[in-house]
Structure 1
Amino acid sequence: MKADEIRDYFDGWQENLARVKSLMEVPEYYREAWLVLCCYVGAFGSLRYPGLRDNEKYKKAVREYSGMTDFYDQIDLFFFMQWPRSEFRDEDRYKRLKNYKEISNAIVAKYGEPDQIRVKVRYVPPNEFVACIEQAPFPGYDRQNLLDHIHLFSLCEMLYHYARCPAVHNVRFPFVTRITRVDRSVRYEDNHAITGDRLLETAQNILSNLSKECIEKTRWPWEL
């Protein structure tokens, strides 16, 4: 029966995730586990939203199925302040945000300089970010423009552009720091809110919620 086939299919994915969890617990394979999890989240997005572009289905799967919307909607203030020096400084979608300088000044006035932000209060809900700007509005402030573009600095965007893409395309892990001990052994430390454990939780939640919906409706992900 179709229902049994769907259940068996997702059981296979659960076994795969269990193996990745075990891999993550071995220090020398920590980054490999990161890479696999990034790919799994993308695979779930492709199964559920085959008609969307890669970045769209990835982020939509996270927002719709992880159950962690509040977390992934948070704005990374440090990234916001560092954006002009980031690899995304020339991207048109970021340049469409108006009054970046004035908004940055308001952020500094409330939270401090970038180095202070990185240590003290790096991640804030989008409504708190907007409220900060509106406490001291400046001439030419465009609220709708800010609301339309603030998501570019969210953790969901960073998961795709700063975690998934560098890992998949260049085997690079900006959110994981490699530390060499005195005995020359290596360990890895997370340096961002998106940690390995958080990524594992994200993948597990997406799979759990997606499989539950498919089993209840007796439909494959692409049929939902």
Structure 2
Amino acid sequence: MLENESKRFGSKEVSSVSMVRDGKPTSFFIVGKNNSKQTPKQKIQKFLYDVRKKRIVKSLKANPHSMEQVAGYIVTGLGFSEVDKTKAEYKTEYFQMRASFILQYKPELLGDLAEAPKLENHKEETIELFMEQIEQRQKAAEDIPTDTFDIDLHIYKKDDGNNQSRITVEKNYGYIGGSASGSKNGFMREFDKTFRKVYQYYGVTQKDIDNNTKRYIELVKTLARR
């Protein structure tokens, strides 16, 4: 059984396709061109994002910090606590992220499954085959031993009643991620501001700016989002 929904992100359309297999729902996303017109609200949001982005590009200066320094800032500067690596929540995220990083950075370790499958059309049988191939690659990545590929994952949390913030750092590949949930008015906006602080502290080198590196691009995008 398939369910499909799509959302707009800038000039792209992201289609979320959900499939129920063996009683378990699985979702994946398809990014492509969106043929529908932007709403007035979306046009305004895009305009404001572009204005902020141009301002950031013009004013951004080199002020880099290492991932070790970022981790220290999250704890001492922002009041987060690191999740113990023996906890189930850490083990679950580590397991998933290690496989994800293999797929992204070291697909050659998967042998015959190194090349990512492509979805040719949205027919149900095509999607089922695509999902089988995705699951095969995921399983193969999970089976790669840690002495062949490993990650240096750290998870930081801050709990305030019903409001919870989470920042994830992977030090080997310079990954910073975040999530939050809460009922307090303005809490999500506060977390977005906190997350931008982390990225801004991480910063960029002059070489990143000159060469328009991934680190530089991600920093500009993160600081421009609202």
Q: What interval of TM-score do these two structures reach, taking the shorter chain for normalisation?
A: under 0.3
Q: Higher helix proportion, which one?
A: 1
TM-score by length of 1: 0.27
TM-score by length of 2: 0.27
Q: Which has the higher contact order (CA 8 A, sep 6+)?
A: 1
